[in-house]
Structure 1
Amino acid sequence: MNAPQAPAIEASAAAKAPGNPKRKRALTVLASVVVVAGLGWATYEYLVASHYESTDNAYVQGNVIQITPQIGGTVMAIMADDTDFVKAGQPLVQLDPADAKVALDQAEAALAQAVRQVRTLYANNGSLNAQIALRDADVTKANSDIARAADDLKRRQSLTGNGAVSKEELSHAQTQLANAQSALSAAKAGVLAAREQLSSNQALTDGTAIDQHPSVLVAAAKVREAFLASQRTALVAPVDGYVAKRTVQLGQRVAAGTPTMSVIPLKQVWVDANFKEVQLRNIRIGQPATLVADVYGKKVPYTGTVTGLGVGTGAAFSLLPAQNATGNWIKVVQRVPVRIMLDEKQLAEHPLRIGLSMDVEVDITRQDGATLADAPRDAQQAHSQVFAQKSDAADEEVQRIIAANLGKRAAATATR
């Protein structure tokens, strides 16, 4: 009965033998696939992936320009609201101008009075010169009176011996000579006083014109201050942009520096890509970058350029920085913001908004750039001509008031 079981046992042993060719072939194919995939991944990593650094911890940033009043006042009108587009110089909020108008009128009147008072100083130079000439004439007349009185006294003294002249008449002649001498002393004192008055007046007028006189300049500064205050009752947009975060309301009493709204120029946005510290070793200024915004997807890629690397990690500048020297410590990989400027044409075609998420990939093939800027900026980072125009208008107002009060002979008197 055991003989028929022998062939079955041999067949089972043959099936379990490790040298099964099908199994060996399958394992060989699988190993080959793994090796080829590993070699492919290693080749891709070496030739392609190692030349790029990427992160999805990136966000759109931009200038958030706060609109704050430079003077206090009551809000009378609001000319822009959230999401509105505004142009540079466009009024956004109007404050009550009544108080500023009164102050401007007072300053203009004070400037006009100062100009006329300075004109009087220049005119006094001429009258004081005339006073000196008059006092000099008094001195000349007093000298003539002394000479005549001396001659009269001399003649009478020569006649006193024969009784032709009485003592009383001789006494009158002596008195007249004394009076003439006193008049000469008074005339000389008058000349000296007139010269001192002229010197004192000239000290207030020499070396300057009427419009450059210190008294006029002080009054003109007050006019500029009041004029600017009157102009600043209208809060204007310093740049082109979109209104956001409006908090001001009608009738609200606002103080200088109170935020009322913000203007965001979306043409001047950039991306802050927060790379891990281990990714920074090959990132350089000037390297190209490719970016994708979640709002548009991969169908709208952006091109940018690395323009700077942050000088500190986000944790270092946080409101409550980490205190790693106390308590238990766990190492956390830090991130450093890398600024990437975007192409203006692409921004115009597909505008971005502050705070949007971005995926960033930086091509680190080129290593000739610097990691930190080594020279100051050669141009203004941002500027506005809106406020300079107000200063020019204030100067024009000052010149108008001065010209209106100079008079026709002001140029001649100013040079005396």
Structure 2
Amino acid sequence: MTSQSTSDPNSIKRRSRWILIASLVFIVVFCLYGLYWFVAIRGEVSTDDAYVSGIQSPVVAQTTGKVIQVSFVNTDLVKAGEILIRLDDTDAKLAYQQATDALANIVRQTQVLYIDAEQYLAKIKSNEINLQQAQQDYQRRLSLGRKDDVSIEELQHAKQSMELAQLDVEIAKQQYQANQALLHGVTLHEQPAVKQAADTVRQAWVTLQRTTIRSPITGYVARSNVEVGSQVTPESQLMVIVPPEPIWIDANFKETQLQDIRIGQTATAISDLYGDNVTYQGKVVGINMGTGSAFSLLPAQNATGNWIKVVQRLPVRIELDKQQVNQYPLRIGLSMNVTIDVRNDDGQVLATTQRTIPFYESNALVLSLDNIDIIINEIIEQNTYSPTMEQ
């Protein structure tokens, strides 16, 4: 029975039919996949070695001090210019007060030069009058000497008096010239000593302002490592401010995938955070000039006997659609799956045009000196001598 069933022609036909159907299905699926690869996949390169990047603006101390206030912690939203940290400003206030006192003292000392100039001019006029009198006395005695009405000794004394008066005039003129060399024909405000003292006041004021540490940009606090009571020094990194945008992707493609990648090509990206529900649209804006290993602290040395070739990866920068990023915010360091459509080869491998506007900027930390300049002018005016002050 078993031998007859297995040799049944009908069974053989059914088995052959199923084999034929399976073969046809396999061929159709293979052809459809080949067509899909030729139409769609053939013109794309993909990588899952891609990560979100963005701006990380460090908050650093610019003066020495002890922390007395920390206003924000990690994940807090801060606006540009808001106070993040306060330092004890006692020493800075004392230095500022000393600088203003020194400026007042320098103004008073320097103004003496202007007063001396007036005195030297008066002295020159006085000595010139004395010289004129001495010359007249000598001329009279010289006329009388011809008549033997005065002695030779008296005539010599008159001549000596005239010569001494001449010397007094020359000395007074030299003193005046030396004084003018110090004044150099500029106003009190422009005197080097006054300007130097004023700059010291400005520097002390700037140092005082820097005891209040502000946010350089609008963003979220991250990597905060400062506490009340901490002693900070210049260049101490206290925290990082991360703005929600701009955000971009650094996609690390294998060097074997780079030959068709061009600037301007469209790209799609899927994050592990949102999954397939969100597909970000973007474009290639640049290809890095070196691999990660080439820019590492200790780059690989391949001139060794046991060298093994490893396929390198090159970061490709993908700029994302801003509206999508605003709707579905990303975080720095998140993993992404990136696909680039490389069928359009009109773009450049390297950028040929320069950026015309700054990529990112903020003036939140720029100190205006207008207020301290007003204070400096007031100090100079208050310590400037005026004859009307005695009346």
8 Å CA contact 1:85–1:243 kept in 2: the answer is: yes
Aligned in 2, Cα 1:117/1:344: closer, same or farther, shift over 3 Å?
farther
Q: Alignment length, in residue pairs?
A: 386
How far did 1:28 drift? Answer: 4.0
- Partner of residue 166, structure 1: none
- Partner of residue 131, structure 1: 123
Structure with the largest fraction of helix = 1
- Unaligned 5+ segments in structure 1 are 1-7, 158-169, 410-416
How far does the alpha carbon of each residue in 1:77-106 deviate from its partner, in whole angstroms, 9 at most, with x for none? 111111111111111111110111111111
Q: Does 1:250 align with 2:242?
A: no
- Partner of residue 314, structure 1: 292
- Partner of residue 345, structure 1: 323
How far does the alpha carbon of each residue in 1:24-68 deviate from its partner, in whole angstroms, 9 at most, with x for none? 544444443333333322222222112222211111112222222
- Unaligned 5+ segments in structure 2 are none
- Partner of residue 143, structure 2: 151
Q: SS in structure 1 opposite 2:183?
A: coil
Return the match for 1:217 from 173, 195, 199: 195
Equivalent-residue separation in structure 2 for 1:46 and 1:266 (angstroms)? 39
Question: In percent, how many aligned pairs have the same letter?
Answer: 39
8 Å CA contact 2:103–2:194 kept in 1: the answer is: yes
Return the match for 1:63 from 45, 55, 59: 55
Equivalent-residue separation in structure 2 for 1:241 and 1:14 (angstroms)? 80
What amino acid sits opposite 1:118 in the alignment?
T
What amino acid sits opposite 2:293 in the alignment?
A
Aligned in 2, Cα 1:356/1:137: closer, same or farther, shift over 3 Å?
same
How far did 1:383 drift? Answer: 2.3
Equivalent-residue separation in structure 2 for 1:129 and 1:359 (angstroms)? 86
- Partner of residue 234, structure 1: 212
8 Å CA contact 1:74–1:254 kept in 2: the answer is: yes
Equivalent-residue separation in structure 2 for 1:344 and 1:176 (angstroms)? 105
> Which TM-score applies when normalising by structure 2?
0.90
Aligned in 2, Cα 1:408/1:26: closer, same or farther, shift over 3 Å?
farther
What amino acid sits opposite 2:186 in the alignment?
T
How far did 1:237 drift? Answer: 0.7
User: Considering only aligned residues, what root-mean-square deviation do their CA atoms show, in Å?
Assistant: 2.6
Q: SS in structure 2 opposite 1:129?
A: helix
How far did 1:127 drift? Answer: 2.4
> Which TM-score applies when normalising by structure 1?
0.85
How far does the alpha carbon of each residue in 1:370-413 deviate from its partner, in whole angstroms, 9 at most, with x for none? 2222343322233221232344544444344334444669xxxx
Between structure 1 and structure 2, the one with the greater Rg is: 1
Aligned in 2, Cα 1:254/1:331: closer, same or farther, shift over 3 Å?
same
Return the match for 1:387 from 356, 362, 365: 365
- Partner of residue 282, structure 2: 304
Equivalent-residue separation in structure 2 for 1:405 and 1:374 (angstroms)? 60
Q: Which moved more, 1:25-34 or 1:200-209?
A: 25-34
Q: Does 1:199 align with 2:177?
A: yes
What amino acid sits opposite 2:102 in the alignment?
A
What amino acid sits opposite 2:138 in the alignment?
I
Equivalent-residue separation in structure 2 for 1:399 and 1:32 (angstroms)? 95
